[in-house]
Amino acid sequence: MPRVLQLNAFDMACIGHIQQGMWTHPRDNSLNYHRLDYWTGLARTLERGLFDGLFLADVLGIYDVHGGSPDAALRNAVQVPLLDPAMLVPAMAAATTHLGFGITCNLAYEQPFLFARRMSTLDHLTGGRIGWNIVTGYLDSAARAMGFDRQMAHDDRYDLADEYMEVVYKLWEGSWDSDAVRADRAAGLYADPAKVRPVHHQGRQYQLDAIHLCEPSPQRTPVLYQAGASDRGRRFAATHAECVFVNGGKPAPVAALVADLRARAGARPLRVFAGATVVVGRTEAEARDLLEEYRRHASVEGALAHASASLGIDFAKYGMDEPIEGGPGQAIQSNVTAMKQAAGPVFTKRRLIDQFVLGSRQPPIVGSAAQVAESLIGWAEAADVDGFNLSRTVMPEGLERFVELVVPELQARGAFKTAYAPGTYREKLFGAGPRLAAPHPAAEARATA
């Protein structure tokens, strides 16, 4: 029997997320990104398809590396304009019962006390269906927006993140005992003061002396996602992450990365999701025709603006066949690695553009429902991943077709669930309790806070 896959939709509260230019397709509805019914409709579609979660990306700056200007990003709606993903979740949670929500929040620019309250609030309002994609940022434009000249160095950001996690674990796990809330009307006692304690933290980056403002939420600590694939990022993931998001591509290098991640995590369970794009038809010919239709709307300029920012390379400076060397920098190092695996250590802009099938560097899986299902199952086995983050193409058409056509094929092969398990997001993903267990450092915070 194949492994039972887990699926997230990969999206962003904007018009152009990964596949740049798809918003120009006449059947695409992403121009309605600022309407609640757009998001509640998406959430209902995903729950109908038994998706585990909606993974919402986010950035805090504009893509201004390409040509040293934000113009290409603005012309092509490349992740701008952009809404706050956390604000969308309560409405989508009210429209669904089981779907989880993984939101990206950059810890570099927000005090842990305020952030901890926001996530506890969302965990309460969703009934324990919230997750956090932990990021430290990669855009100098975001640093400038927050009053800094530039962002911190790559590894220094992870050092900051380690301390940040220590603080929020203490707030979520150690400030309130599980039986602190009495809600005793007759005695006029809501919370037992003896079972609520302040968090004292005096660290290099953060100082705190405060009681967490929220009573214990269903999961306490949200489900923890992380996407770092650099050596420092992997060390961080091995300590903190429950779910890791990796780039798609060729299975062999992904399998090596996954093996390293699992070895570093040791006894801790880890779910690994690979990025994937799907174009599916009732027949292979229909899928190929749909791909060509979509390709006519792909934006090369938008894709270059996105790639320049995420790779830290201004491609506008290079001729089409001029060699480009992608070295270490402060952008997303895993993206640089993935690009080198696809195009070689020294590549050209022409070779990069050749990969922009649908306005991104991610080659799509194209075929009939049966072919797509077999491809996903085979790729997951070869790379040892637990599931996929499916990026959108034309919205909502692409995901609706996946739910209608691919999900039944996966189910027929025993590779996808036929009903949701009960419980919180964490319980659904791992089949265990709602709270993080030892040896995760969040569990240790219960005794040390």
pLDDT tens digits along 323-366: 887 655 445 445 555 555 555 567 788 888 888 889 888 899 99
Q: Which of the 8 DSSP states describes residue 26?
A: T
Q: For the segment 106-135, what is each residue's pLDDT rounded down to a tens digit?
A: 999 999 999 999 999 999 999 999 999 999
Predicted pLDDT of residue 448: 56
Residue 82's pLDDT is: 98
Parts of the chain with a pLDDT under 50: 329-330, 332-333, 449
Per-residue CA distances from 274 to 6, 123, 206, 379, 385 (Å) = 10, 25, 34, 10, 7
Q: What are phi and psi of 147, to 5 degrees?
A: 95, 15
- CA 356 → CA 103, 246, 299, 406, distances in Å? 26, 19, 9, 24
Contacts of 372 (CB under 8 A, 6+ apart): 278, 280, 287, 365, 366, 405, 406, 409
Beta-sheet strands, E only, within 265-415: 271-276, 278-281, 324-325, 346-347, 365-368, 387-391
> Which residue shows structure tokens 């979740």?
89
Average pLDDT of the chain, as a whole number: 93
Query: How far apart, in whole angstroms, are the C-alpha atoms of residue 233 and residue 214?
Result: 30
Amino acid identity, residue 439?
A: P
